[in-house]
């Protein structure tokens, strides 16, 4: 009887394994779902990913320069926001420079140092930490491994082997606020934050200033979701902003939460969203009127060049409008040509520093 | 007979770990990775060098604390699911003390740890008091308090004690950091505290009369009551004691590893501790051992991910399977039908009750 | 403060309450069935995340929200069978298996998600269930939009409440069911197949919890992200205890929680200077205060949480 129990448990385990195998199977087999581009590109990227993984193992590809970069991320790479865009940035930068990439996501705070140490031990040349929250871990591991270089996004640390990358949060806020001010018909705009990072606070402040400069009657409602992944909460916050304050343009700094907010906006006419940090809109998008694009890839590429040239470390690389790291995304057709021209002028002013004194 | 039973108690968890690993290996093959290489990475990641063993121990430390919390309280019949909240409150109290009082050095550390334990004890007493006075189910109270504690900690590091541009508190002053054993074996002294508590807990529960009484209350509170044991007082005591252990764990983690409070501090330790305690069958020393195994899996998972790009979810699945099989195996052995089978197989007469 | 007395604000708040309470209600009802049969299942969070993923995946592939919900239910049952087998047949401690499911199911969900969708920069949009207003009733001035303009699943959740109450109190099957949770040995002597009833309870629990999870990714939002469950399983657990294991009480508990959650978001907007964490504590503190105030003497089905050994007579 003991045997039957054991076999029963093994059968259960086999069933679960079968489930996972089925999942494997579905990833490679083409599906008959409505052939949306996302689906086919997902299948392609899966194939590409497995081949990339094999390449990484073999450590030699057509364009390999022999350099490797690793990213440590506390959220998920598929969060549709910060994590995803940082990952894309790394991949794009690496593709241009012929580097290999690898990442670990969903890393718990307590594991930052462990994961970074692992990568350092494996000999990765550059470790990319996309956020200020990694500062402690980066400082600690950088000290123990002086030959490994660290790129800290939104950081303020500069040592021999740490370079900080700082996109200009103020300009991001100005850009978003100006557009919101121009587009809002109800004079009420909204802002959703994830956590109260200083960069988020700066963005909010400048969002408000810029909007009010463009349209002095603008009122801003803001809320913090307290999370970067609770999509449902984003939806709730956005719908209450819309119904209580008649907000018609929103801007978010909260990754997956922003996606939820957009869903709420989709439910009513004439409610819009400004995306960031990637170029999330398109010409026929009904919700996203434009994005404030942060080209983290260019900044990372600069770091990679430094590593190759052995000039790394001891500086902060700023990303703003003047060096092209911040830019206007794709306008949706909902934004009239008139407003587009006005906006571009304002952005030029922001770039020159004359918009808000 | 007892020897054989004890042997079974060890064989079953080991066997279940093996089975879980085999299934994990199958999943890895499905992903196109070599399972032997993967397990090689996992174990080298956890044991590869003295520094790595130290890192594993550091990961195990908070798990031992919360595991002991759960083990101690369950042994006394109370379901203290508030380990996480008590852990966090201990750390919060410590950071307040260290930042505001400015006392440094060994005195600072000791006082801070004490205050952490006290905070944890208070936080653990709340469900206890509510259980005794209002008859509230302690599971729900402790879970609610977990959320409140984590949110309060969020408030502390976002607003009250904020340091700089990210939501996190100041770092504790250097003089209050827990020392490490050595540069090449960088495990902080907190681990020894944890292990000491494990042994002390074991001794207390199984070799003292007070411990015996607590266990009696845990096994059958009605009988204990009718034997004159002050059940309510013991229940409260178990809450306070287990809360104190968790709070101490939070303090230790703050002083030894994290050095400041930030988002994600203490996340998951409470419930992991519960799982650990239950696998170890509420034995304090067993708890420490199982916590170590969990830490190995956790550290190994990270190395597996970085070295072979196997998603950490796979190791999570393996970890869950270990729990499932280990506990299933032990439960299997306790089933009367199985017992009968084993006894007849061993040639002994079955003892009827 | 005058925003409070705005009718629009109140209606929105109540609508939000109903919306936010629904997933918790599904899961709380699931747990009610389970605990009434004597099985404490704390793995609800895990079942929800798995149901959320499978529901999303199937909904995405087939384009039909209903299929997605069904798939969510089935996947919930599948996962819960692990729990069922180990706790009923092997009489293992229920809390452990709940924990194990909480670790296992989200990991499996995340794994399958990775395999199916790989890395993209936007969250995949799945299907969405449309609201289904009830023809005449939804035009009643205030109550209409509040009660009668919802997604079908919401109606189902709230209809389940009286259905469950009737089941437990007035049907023979329901009374047998409850007997299993109170005095399994007595029930066995009456000819009730205790083990079968427990399995049935697990099936119902898994199905409802799976639906609750699928609701999050199909009806509530139409995307899946890791962490979408956000601890709702544990809230549901509290709701069951809060509601004293009665469907009506459970529903009230879920509504209270949904109300506090909806309120907390609006309070944030109204007073941006208050630290948002303090506002977020409101639902939990509220539950605690109400509990402490009323006190609960009843501790649930008497054989709750205890393994049933058939051989012991």
* Of A197, A200, A194, the residue nearest A257 (C-alpha): A194
Which pLDDT tens digits describe chain B residue by residue (353 residues)? Answer: 567 767 777 777 778 788 888 888 888 888 888 888 888 888 887 887 777 888 888 889 999 999 999 998 888 888 888 899 999 999 999 988 888 887 777 888 888 899 999 999 999 999 999 888 887 878 888 888 998 999 899 888 887 777 766 677 777 777 667 777 776 677 788 888 888 888 888 888 888 888 888 888 877 777 777 777 788 888 899 999 999 999 999 999 988 888 888 877 888 888 889 888 887 878 888 899 889 988 888 888 878 877 777 777 888 888 888 888 887 877 777 777 777 777 777 655 445 44
Q: Could you tell me if C120 lies within 8 Å of chain A, comparing CB atoms?
A: yes
Q: Is A118 close to B303, i.e. CB distance below 8 A?
A: yes
Q: CB-based contacts of B84: which residues, under 8 Å, 6+ apart?
A: B66, B146, B149, B150, B246, B266, B267, B268, B269, B270, B271
Q: Is A117 close to B31, i.e. CB distance below 8 A?
A: no
**DSSP secondary structure string, chain C?**
-GGGG-HHHHHHHHHHHHHHHHHHHHHHHHHHHHHHTT----THHHHHHHHHHHHHHHHHHH--HHHHHHHHHHHHHHHHHHHHIIIIIS---HHHHHHHHHHHHHHHHHHHHHHHH---SSPPP---PPPEE-TTGGGSTTHHHHHHEE-HHHHHHHHHHHHHHHHHHH-HHHHHHHHHHH-HHHHHHTT--HHHHHHHHHHHHHHHHHHHHHHIIIII-S---TT-STTHHHHHHHHHHHTTT-HHHHHHHHHHHHHHHHHHHHHHHH-TTS-HHHHHTHHHHHHHHHHHHH-----SSTTTT----TT--
Nearest to C234 among B143, B151, B279 (CB): B143
Q: Could you tell me if C95 lies within 8 Å of chain B, comparing CB atoms?
A: yes
CB B353 within 8 A of CB C108: no
Chain A CB contacts of B306 below 8 Å: 70, 102, 104, 115, 118-119, 122
> In a 10 Å sphere around its CB, with 0-12 CB exposed, 13-18 middle and 19+ buried, how is residue A58 labelled?
exposed
CA distance C264 to A123: 48
Chain B CB contacts of A164 below 8 Å: none
Q: Could you tell me if C1 lies within 8 Å of chain A, comparing CB atoms?
A: no
Chain C CB contacts of B321 below 8 Å: 104
| C 177-206 near A (Cβ less than 8 A) | none
CA distance C12 to C280: 19
Q: Could you tell me if A1 lies within 8 Å of chain B, comparing CB atoms?
A: yes
Q: Could you tell me if C16 lies within 8 Å of chain A, comparing CB atoms?
A: yes
Taking CA atoms, B269 is separated from B112, B140, B274, in Å, by 21, 18, 9
Q: What is the pLDDT of residue B178?
A: 74
**DSSP secondary structure string, B71-116?**
HHHHHTT-----HHHHHHHHHHHHHHHHHHH---HHHHHHHHHHHH
* Of A233, A129, C297, A8, the residue nearest B133 (C-alpha): C297
Q: Could you tell me if A199 lies within 8 Å of chain B, comparing CB atoms?
A: yes
Nearest to A38 among C16, C111, C124 (CB): C124
Q: Which domains does chain A have, with CATH numbers?
A: 31-39+47-167 (3.40.50.2300), 169-293+325-352 (3.40.50.2300)
Residue C128 placed within a domain: no
CA distance C212 to C72: 8
Residue C122 placed within a domain: no
Chain B CB contacts of C242 below 8 Å: 140
Nearest to B309 among A53, A109, A199 (CB): A53
Chains that touch B (3 or more CB pairs under 8 A): A, C
Nearest to A196 among B167, B258, B308 (CB): B167
Chain B CB contacts of C300 below 8 Å: 137
| B 136-155 near A (Cβ less than 8 A) | 154
Residue C111 placed within a domain: yes
Nearest CA in chain A to C220: A232
Q: Whole-prediction pTM value?
A: 0.80
Q: Is B137 close to C100, i.e. CB distance below 8 A?
A: no
CA distance B43 to A269: 57
> In a 10 Å sphere around its CB, with 0-12 CB exposed, 13-18 middle and 19+ buried, how is residue C184 labelled?
buried
CA distance A41 to C120: 9
Q: CB-based contacts of A253: which residues, under 8 Å, 6+ apart?
A: A191, A192, A193, A194, A197, A199, A200, A203, A204, A276
A vs C, Cβ pairs < 8 A, gives: 154
What average pLDDT score do residues A167-171 get? 86
Q: Is B298 close to A2, i.e. CB distance below 8 A?
A: no
CB C79 within 8 A of CB A47: no
Q: Which domain holds residue C67?
A: 2-117+143-294
Q: What is the pLDDT of residue A27?
A: 31
CB B82 within 8 A of CB B124: yes
Chains that touch A (3 or more CB pairs under 8 A): B, C
Residue C131 placed within a domain: no
CA distance C50 to C107: 9
Q: Is A84 close to C122, i.e. CB distance below 8 A?
A: yes
Nearest to B148 among C281, C291, C312 (CB): C281
Nearest-neighbour CA in chain A from C128: distance (Å): 10
| End-to-end Cα distance, chain B | 17
Beta-bridged to residue A166, according to DSSP, are A318
Mutate one of B143, B280, B304, B322 to test the C interface: name it (highest C CB count within 10 A).
B143
Chain A CB contacts of C53 below 8 Å: none
| B 241-300 near A (Cβ less than 8 A) | 257-260, 262-265, 267-268, 298-299
CA distance A200 to A189: 16
Chain A CB contacts of C119 below 8 Å: 45, 49, 77-78, 84, 87
Nearest-neighbour CA in chain A from C116: distance (Å): 5
CA distance C177 to C195: 11
Q: Is C111 close to B323, i.e. CB distance below 8 A?
A: no
CB B264 within 8 A of CB B81: no
List the structure tokens of C53.
Answer: 């993923």
Which pLDDT tens digits describe chain C residue by residue (313 residues)? Answer: 455 556 777 878 888 888 889 999 999 999 999 988 889 898 898 999 999 999 988 888 888 888 889 999 999 999 999 999 888 888 887 887 888 888 889 888 988 887 787 655 456 677 777 666 666 666 666 666 677 777 888 888 889 999 999 998 888 888 888 888 888 888 888 888 888 989 999 999 999 999 999 998 888 877 777 777 777 888 888 888 888 888 998 999 999 888 888 888 888 777 777 787 888 888 888 888 877 877 665 566 777 777 777 665 4
Nearest to C3 among A33, A49, A244 (CB): A244
Q: Is C107 close to B337, i.e. CB distance below 8 A?
A: no
Residue C82 placed within a domain: yes
The domain spanning residue C176 has which CATH number? Answer: 1.10.3470
Nearest-neighbour CA in chain C from A352: distance (Å): 31
Nearest to C86 among B143, B328, B337 (CB): B328
Q: Is A88 close to C121, i.e. CB distance below 8 A?
A: yes
| A 48-87 near B (Cβ less than 8 A) | 50, 53-54, 56-57, 70, 74
Q: Is C110 close to B274, i.e. CB distance below 8 A?
A: no
Chain B CB contacts of A117 below 8 Å: 55
Chain B CB contacts of C280 below 8 Å: 151
Query: What total number of domains does chain C contain?
Result: 1
Q: Which of A150-154, A199-203, B13-17, C80-84 has the lowest mean pLDDT?
A: B13-17
Residue C193 placed within a domain: yes
Q: What is the DSSP letter of A86?
A: H
Mutate one of C234, C244, C313 to test the B interface: name it (highest B CB count within 10 A).
C234
Virtual torsion, Cα B73, B75, B79, B80, nearest 10 deg: 20
Q: Supply the ipTM of this predicted assembly.
A: 0.80
CB A90 within 8 A of CB A101: yes
Chain B CB contacts of C277 below 8 Å: 151-152, 154-155, 158
> In a 10 Å sphere around its CB, with 0-12 CB exposed, 13-18 middle and 19+ buried, how is residue B62 labelled?
buried
Nearest-neighbour CA in chain B from C5: distance (Å): 29
Per-residue pLDDT of A54-89, as tens digits, reads: 333 333 333 457 788 899 988 877 776 788 888 888
Nearest to C121 among A85, A106, A223 (CB): A85
Chain A CB contacts of C223 below 8 Å: 80, 231, 256, 259-260, 263
């Amino acid at each position: 009887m003991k045997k039957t129990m054991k076999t029963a448990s093994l059968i259960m385990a086999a069933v679960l394994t079968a489930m996972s195998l089925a999942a494997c199977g579905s990833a490679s087999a083409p599906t008959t779902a409505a052939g949306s581009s996302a689906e086919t590109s997902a299948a392609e990227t899966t194939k590409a990913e497995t081949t990339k993984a094999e390449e990484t193992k073999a450590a030699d590809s057509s364009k390999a320069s022999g350099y490797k970069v690793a990213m440590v991320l506390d959220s998920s790479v598929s969060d549709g926001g910060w994590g995803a865009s940082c990952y894309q940035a790394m991949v794009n930068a690496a593709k241009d420079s012929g580097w290999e990439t690898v990442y670990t996501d969903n890393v718990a705070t307590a594991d930052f140092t462990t994961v970074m140490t692992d990568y350092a031990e494996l000999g990765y040349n550059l470790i990319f930490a996309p956020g200020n929250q990694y500062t402690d871990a980066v400082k600690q591991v950088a000290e123990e491994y002086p030959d490994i270089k660290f790129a800290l996004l939104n950081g303020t640390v500069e040592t021999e082997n740490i370079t900080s990358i700082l996109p200009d949060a103020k300009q991001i806020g100005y850009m978003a606020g100006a557009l919101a001010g121009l587009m809002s018909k109800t004079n009420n705009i909204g802002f959703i934050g994830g956590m109260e990072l200083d960069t988020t606070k700066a963005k909010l402040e400048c969002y408000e200033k810029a909007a009010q400069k463009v349209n002095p009657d603008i009122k801003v409602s803001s809320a913090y979701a307290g999370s970067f992944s609770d999509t449902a909460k984003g939806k709730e916050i956005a719908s209450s902003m819309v119904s209580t304050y008649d907000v018609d343009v929103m801007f978010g700094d909260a990754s997956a939460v922003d996606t939820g907010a957009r869903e709420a906006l989709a439910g009513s006419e004439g409610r819009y969203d400004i995306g960031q940090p990637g170029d999330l809109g398109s010409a026929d998008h009904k919700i996203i009127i434009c994005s404030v694009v942060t080209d983290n890839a260019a900044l990372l590429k600069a770091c990679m060049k430094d590593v190759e040239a052995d000039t790394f470390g001891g500086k902060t690389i700023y990303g703003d409008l003047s060096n092209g790291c911040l830019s206007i995304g794709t306008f949706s057709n909902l934004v009239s040509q008139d407003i587009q021209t006005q906006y571009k002028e304002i952005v030029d002013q922001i770039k020159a520093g004359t918009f808000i004194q | 007979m007892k020897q054989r039973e004890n042997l079974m108690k060890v064989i079953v968890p080991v066997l279940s770990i093996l089975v879980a690993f085999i299934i994990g290996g199958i999943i890895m093959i499905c992903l196109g990775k070599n399972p032997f290489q993967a397990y090689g990475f996992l174990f080298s990641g956890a044991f590869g060098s003295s520094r790595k063993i130290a890192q594993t121990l550091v990961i195990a430390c908070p798990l031992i604390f919360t595991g002991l919390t759960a083990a101690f309280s369950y042994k006394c019949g109370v379901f203290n699911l508030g380990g996480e909240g008590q852990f966090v409150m201990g750390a919060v109290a410590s950071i307040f003390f260290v930042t505001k009082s400015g006392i440094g050095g060994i005195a600072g550390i000791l006082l801070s740890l004490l205050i952490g334990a006290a905070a944890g004890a208070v936080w653990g007493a709340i469900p206890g008091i509510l259980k005794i006075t209002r008859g509230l189910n302690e599971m729900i109270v402790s879970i609610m308090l977990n959320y409140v504690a984590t949110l309060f900690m969020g408030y502390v590091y976002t607003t009250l004690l904020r340091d700089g541009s990210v939501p996190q508190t100041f770092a504790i002053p250097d003089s209050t950091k827990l020392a490490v054993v050595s540069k090449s074996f960088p495990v902080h002294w907190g681990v020894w505290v944890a292990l000491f508590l494990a042994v002390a807990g074991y001794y207390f529960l199984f070799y003292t009369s007070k411990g015996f009484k607590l266990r009696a209350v845990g096994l059958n509170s009605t009988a204990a009551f009718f034997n004159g044991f002050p059940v309510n007082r013991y229940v409260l005591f178990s809450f306070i004691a287990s809360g104190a252990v968790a709070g101490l764990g939070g303090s230790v983690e703050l002083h030894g590893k994290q050095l400041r409070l930030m988002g994600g501090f203490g996340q998951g330790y409470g419930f992991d501790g519960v799982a650990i305690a239950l696998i170890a069958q509420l034995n304090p020393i067993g708890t420490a051992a199982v916590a170590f195994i969990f830490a190995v899996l956790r550290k190994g998972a990270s190395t597996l991910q970085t070295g072979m790009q196997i998603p950490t979810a796979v190791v999570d699945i393996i970890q869950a399977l270990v729990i499932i099989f280990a506990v299933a195996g032990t439960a299997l052995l306790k089933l009367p039908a199985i017992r009968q089978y084993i006894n007849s197989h061993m040639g002994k007469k079955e003892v009827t009750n | 403060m005058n925003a409070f007395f705005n009718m629009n604000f109140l209606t929105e708040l109540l609508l939000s309450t109903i919306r936010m309470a629904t997933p918790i209600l599904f899961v709380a009802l699931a747990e009610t069935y389970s605990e009434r049969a004597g099985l404490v299942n704390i793995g609800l969070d895990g079942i929800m995340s798995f149901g959320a993923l499978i529901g999303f995946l199937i909904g995405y592939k087939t384009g039909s929200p209903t299929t997605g919900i069904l798939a969510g239910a089935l996947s919930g049952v599948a996962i819960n069978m692990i729990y069922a087998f180990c706790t009923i047949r092997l009489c293992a401690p229920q809390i452990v298996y709940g924990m194990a499911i909480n670790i296992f199911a989200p990991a499996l969900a995340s794994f399958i998600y990775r395999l199916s969708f790989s890395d993209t920069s936007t969250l995949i949009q799945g299907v969405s269930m449309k609201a289904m207003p009830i023809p005449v009733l939804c035009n009643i001035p205030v109550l209409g939009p509040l009660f009668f303009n919802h997604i079908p699943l919401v109606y189902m959740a709230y209809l389940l409440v009286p259905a469950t109450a009737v089941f437990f109190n007035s049907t023979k099957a329901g009374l047998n069911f409850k007997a299993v949770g109170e005095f399994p040995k007595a029930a066995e002597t009456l000819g009730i197949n205790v083990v079968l009833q427990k399995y049935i309870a697990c099936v119902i629990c898994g199905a409802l919890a799976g639906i609750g999870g699928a609701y999050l990714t199909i009806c509530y939002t139409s995307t899946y992200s890791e962490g979408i469950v956000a601890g709702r399983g544990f809230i549901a657990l509290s709701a069951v205890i809060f509601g004293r294991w009665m469907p009506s009480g459970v529903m009230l508990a879920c509504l209270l929680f949904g109300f506090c959650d909806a309120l907390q978001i609006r309070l944030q907007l109204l007073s941006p200077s208050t630290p948002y964490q303090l506002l977020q504590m409101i639902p939990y503190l509220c539950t605690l205060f109400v509990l402490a105030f009323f006190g609960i003497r009843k501790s649930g089905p008497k054989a709750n949480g205890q393994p049933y050994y058939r051989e012991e007579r």
